[in-house]
Amino acid sequence: MDLMTLAGLAMGAGAVWYVLSTGGIVGILFNANAAVLVFGGVIGATLITYPWRLIKKLPKCVLLIFFPPKFSTNEEIIEVFESIAKRARRDGISQGILEEIPPDNFFQRAIGMVIDGFETDFIRETLHNEISYFKKRHNQVSDVFKSMGAYAPIFGLLGTLIGVVQVLRNLSDPASMGVSMAIAITTTFYGIFSTNFLFLPTAGKLSVLTNMESLTKQLIVEGAISLQKGEIPSVVRKRLQAFLADSDKAAKK
């Protein structure tokens, strides 16, 4: 469970609820017609824009912001590569090295290519292509949420226009004017709130997770190349420490 996501949701929802409750307008902003217009419109526009193969991934991806995938830290991966380099200098590159590798498919493939004796350029090109397509696939999903964040305020504005038109049509009936104004205001609220509190933060979190995993994969590529070149353990560590922040490098000295 990602505590930062929970803390952000609690803080954001709490702040909005506090302002609404102290202003006495909580009940006014719960409007079924406004919710149908904004969220129904967003869903409809999203279905028009994107194929089903992307849409069906959204629920699973939403869970990722609460339960992000667990993978080894960069520091742990450097330790593994240094250990493998020591073993390789002693016993050579063999299938036994796979025993020291974390249960990561990309990591396993990278070391497997080294064991199989592929050339450096081939290993680098193949693994970098895999990383590139990995990022493109994941960014497609985050783009869906970005689009939803763009659609929501527009449908909120559409609801406002509809509400204003209804007000102008019923100037002689104050009671119906109130209902129309409620729709005009609440649709704008739903559009802005859902964009900035739901859709865009979800897209941002997914992009961050993708970039973090991509950086880890790039570290693995460089480690595999170092092993393929037969570099000594100290050189392997120095080369891979380029992926660490300065504070982490200092801590490892």
Give the pLDDT band (50/70/90) at residue 42.
Answer: very high
Question: CA 78 → CA 50, 56, 213, 241, distances in Å?
Answer: 40, 36, 15, 8
- Rounded to whole angstroms, how far apart are CA atoms 64 and 54? 15
How confident is the model at residue 89, as a pLDDT? 82
Same domain, 13 and 101: no
pTM of the model: 0.84
Give the pLDDT confidence score for residue 250 in this predicted structure: 47
pLDDT digits (tens, 9 = 90+) for 87-122: 888 777 777 777 777 888 899 899 989 888 899 999
Instruction: For residues 167 and 232, state if they share a domain.
Output: yes
Q: Do 4 and 102 belong to one domain?
A: no
State whether 7 and 83 are in the same domain.
no
The number of distinct structural domains making up the chain is: 2
CB contact at 8 A, 84 and 97: yes
Residue 230: count of CB within 10 angstroms of its CB? 12
CA-to-CA distance for 230 and 109, rounded, in angstroms? 18
pLDDT in tens, 129-148: 999 999 999 999 999 999 99
Question: Does 107 share its domain with 117?
Answer: yes
- In this structure, the answer to whether residues 117 and 229 fall within a common structural domain is yes
- 135 and 94 both lie in a single domain: yes
pLDDT band at 21 (very low <50, low <70, confident <90, very high): confident
The pLDDT assigned to 252 comes to 53
The tens digit of pLDDT for each residue in 138-186 reads 999 999 999 999 999 999 999 999 888 888 887 777 777 777 787 888 8
Q: Are residues 21 and 88 in the same domain?
A: no
Does the pLDDT value for residue 247 go beyond 60?
Answer: no
Q: Among residues of the chain, what percentage have pLDDT more than 70? A: 94
* Measured distance CA(244)–CA(236) in Å, rounded: 14
User: Is the domain of 51 the same as that of 124?
Assistant: yes
Q: 122 and 26 share a domain?
A: no
232-236 mean pLDDT: 89
Residue 36: what pLDDT?
Answer: 93
Query: Both 24 and 109 in a single domain?
Result: no
Q: 45 is in which domain, residue-wise?
A: 32-253
Residue 74 in tokens: 């960069």
pLDDT at 234 over 60: yes
Residue 187 in this model has a pLDDT that exceeds 80? yes
Collect contacts of 208-214 with beta carbons under 8 A, ≥24 apart.
209/64, 209/65, 209/68, 209/69, 209/138, 210/134, 210/135, 210/138, 210/139, 210/142, 211/135, 213/69, 213/71, 213/134, 214/131, 214/134, 214/135
Tens-place pLDDT, residues 191-203: 999 999 999 999 9
Are residue 180 and residue 134 in the same domain, yes or no?
yes
